[in-house]
Structure 1
Amino acid sequence: MQYRTLGRTGFKVSAISFGAWAIGGSWGTVKDADSIAALHKAIDMGVNFIDTADVYGDGRSEKLIAQVCKDRSEEIIVATKAGRRLNPHTADGYNRENLTKFVERSLKNLEVEALDLVQLHCPPTEVYYRPEVFDIMDDLQKQGKIQHYGVSVEKVEEALKAIEFPNVKTVQIIFNMFRQRPANLFFEQAKKRRIGILARVPLASGLLTGKMTPKTTFEKDDHRAFNRYGEAFDKGETFAGVDYEIGLQAVEELKNLLPEKMSLTQMALRWILMFDAVTCAIPGAKRPDQAEQNFSAADFPPLSEEMMHGINEIYEKYIKNPVHYLW
């Protein structure tokens, strides 16, 4: 496993870490025993950073992580998020009372005295134009409830605005072979400010595993069934905003580029690590076998220039025009 420094936090985290949305919910049937086994497998493989949120299973994900961390001797860094519990989810809801309440609930769920990292959870764009919200986060840090804070964003423009605030130390953003825009300008600016970057949706909701077909079906409570067009939240969170059928066509061409003994999942994750601005990719895993597939990707050598060029050509052919400029 590779380790990279998470911006100015000082944390050294695994370059491929654990995204815990799937073990909370919205990904079909998930058994707690399998989730716990997947977390243990990840830690066995060197993962020391887990990303979750208070809304993942209404606290289920946080509580499972707390259970696993109690059983391990390793130091595990846990990032959570706050804000999406708001209903309605509005900028006005990002106030002192609500944010304090959300942070205190996560402290209880994770069974810690201070949260390692709290991220504002894809707030409305207007929040990034309200300095008072970031003042509240500063105060929560001074109170010892959180060690560090950052943001999780939908759009590159939001990321660029967020890092203007001096104590924002991390940005979580969708970045994968089907969502390449963050590399254009944002990565450069983030490096200048020593911002840690968490690449989420690294496998485009499973599209980039290469295991899906036009006949693949999803359970009703799986966001890949109910949010393809943004019915529940931003459509970019599902299949990275790529049309499913077009994505399948692109995946078939990507398979032709695969090196020997490397799966498409591993190539997709290794591609992300080719960008030194990225601190870590955070794929999800519902079972130990998925965890093993994901976290072994960091052990592969860098992708060749020829492969990187081929991946970019497929992106230009299928994905760039309909997706690139939306986020």
Structure 2
Amino acid sequence: MRHRQLGTTGFDVTEVGFGTWNIGGDWGDVDEEAGREAVRAALDAGIDFIDTADVYGDGFSEQRIGEVLDERGVREEVTVATKAGRRLDPHTADRYDYENLSKFVDRSREYLGVETLGLVQLHCPPTEAYYQPETFEALDRLRDEGKIDHYGVSVEKVEQALKAIEYPGVETVQIIFNMFRQRPAELFFEEAARRDVGVIVRVPLASGLLTGELSRDMEFPENDHRNFNIEGEAFDRGETFAGLPVEDGFDAVDELREHVPEETTMAQMALRWILDHDAVSTVIPGSTTPEHIEANAAASEKAPLSNQTHGAVRDIYEEYVFDSVHHRW
């Protein structure tokens, strides 16, 4: 597995990491052993960067990660990034303060079983939070106290990412970027590279659309966000199918099929497309299926896509996606 530097953190991480939203909730039921087995599969595939959050199963994901890292004895070899803030109720910008963030960080330290969290990311706070310096001063204080080593942000919109990296302590930005969400490759990637900010790409497969394995008549469990968040009923619509109306997504996927390279799955093509952008530090597909996790990791070894394929992807994006998505995030 190839590695890339994660901004100025000093972490050298696999360019395909592992996202654990799938094992922590909003994707149907996952029991404890299935969660542990998914983490084991990621480690077996050579992955050494794992992303989680304190709200994924209300700590379920963090706990399973900590258990497996102890079981394997690989804590020093694996970089774990978690997130904080979405447990706030109400979820308002003014509550992103030292008192609340400190409580969340302490809980994550306990669940992950560490004294110091390697990387903490603000978890998609309201836009106003990026304009209040006291939020980032709170993170500086937590770092000075030794509770966290590094911090970054997880954002919904390019505007938020560009504002966040104006703060010198922000070393990473996690953002949605895929063949159906191409806007970050414009100004944000340029600025992130100029400031040496690590870029963590989430939702790379557009909630499964870009695997090519979903069908138009597929039904999802009631507790799967692809059932209950289609119009953004529970959280930002852009987290589900990249914000694209699902029928348009299927039409675009049908067009993409003819451009998938030989001996490559559509999911691997989608991941390779992301990795062809030099500003990206790591991409974090999630799954609870060991075979899918292994196949996702293998995208790192695939050859870069041709200029012709990149052009075709852009043409499909402009025909099926641009008008619905590009301006919103």
Settle same-fold status: TM greater than 0.5.
Answer: yes
1:39: Cα distance to partner? 1.3
Q: Partner letter of residue 309 of structure 1?
A: G
Q: Partner letter of residue 122 of structure 1?
A: C
In 1, Cα distance between equivalents of 2:151 and 2:31: 31
Partner of 2:296: 294
Partner of 2:127: 125
1:260: Cα distance to partner? 0.8
1:107 and 1:113 in contact (8 A); partners too:
yes
In 2, Cα distance between equivalents of 1:42 and 1:109: 19
Q: Over residues 150-188 of structure 1, what are the superposed CA-to-partner deviations in whole Å (9 max), with x where a residue is unaligned?
A: 000000000000000001000000000000000010000
Q: Over residues 33-61 of structure 1, what are the superposed CA-to-partner deviations in whole Å (9 max), with x where a residue is unaligned?
A: 22222211211221001000000000000
Partner of 2:73: 73
1:324: Cα distance to partner? 0.4
2:181 and 2:242 in contact (8 A); partners too:
yes
Query: Which secondary structure state, in structure 2, belongs to the residue aligned with residue 147 of structure 1?
Result: strand
Q: Partner letter of residue 287 of structure 1?
A: T
1:96: Cα distance to partner? 1.4
My pick for the range that moved more, 274-283 or 64-73, is 64-73
In 1, Cα distance between equivalents of 2:80 and 2:278: 22
In 1, Cα distance between equivalents of 2:149 and 2:170: 12
My pick for the range that moved more, 83-92 or 31-40, is 31-40
Flag structure 2 segments of 5+ consecutive residues without an equivalent. Answer: none
Q: Partner letter of residue 52 of structure 1?
A: T
1:32: Cα distance to partner? 2.5
Alignment of 1:155-194 (within 5 A): 155-194=157-196
1:254 and 1:314 in contact (8 A); partners too:
yes
Partner of 2:88: 86
Partner of 2:39: 39
Query: Which secondary structure state, in structure 1, belongs to the residue aligned with residue 227 of structure 2?
Result: helix
Alignment of 1:110-259 (within 5 A): 110-259=112-261
In 2, Cα distance between equivalents of 1:158 and 1:107: 27
Partner of 1:59: 59
Identity %: 57
In 1, Cα distance between equivalents of 2:38 and 2:65: 11
In 1, Cα distance between equivalents of 2:220 and 2:29: 10
Query: Which secondary structure state, in structure 2, belongs to the residue aligned with residue 7 of structure 1?
Result: coil
1:35 and 1:285 in contact (8 A); partners too:
no
1:35 and 1:287 in contact (8 A); partners too:
no
In 2, Cα distance between equivalents of 1:284 and 1:32: 16
Q: Partner letter of residue 64 of structure 1?
A: R
2:27 and 2:223 in contact (8 A); partners too:
yes
In 2, Cα distance between equivalents of 1:219 and 1:71: 32
Q: Over residues 211-253 of structure 1, what are the superposed CA-to-partner deviations in whole Å (9 max), with x where a residue is unaligned?
A: 1111111000000000010100000000010110000010011
Deviation >4 Å, runs of 4+: none
Q: Partner letter of residue 291 of structure 1?
A: I
Query: Between Structure 1 and Structure 2, how many residues are aligned?
Result: 327
For the aligned residue pairs, the C-alpha RMSD in angstroms reads 0.7
1:29: Cα distance to partner? 2.1
Query: Which secondary structure state, in structure 1, belongs to the residue aligned with residue 218 of structure 2?
Result: coil
Question: TM-score by structure 2 length?
Answer: 0.98
In 2, Cα distance between equivalents of 1:258 and 1:322: 24
1:198 and 1:279 in contact (8 A); partners too:
yes
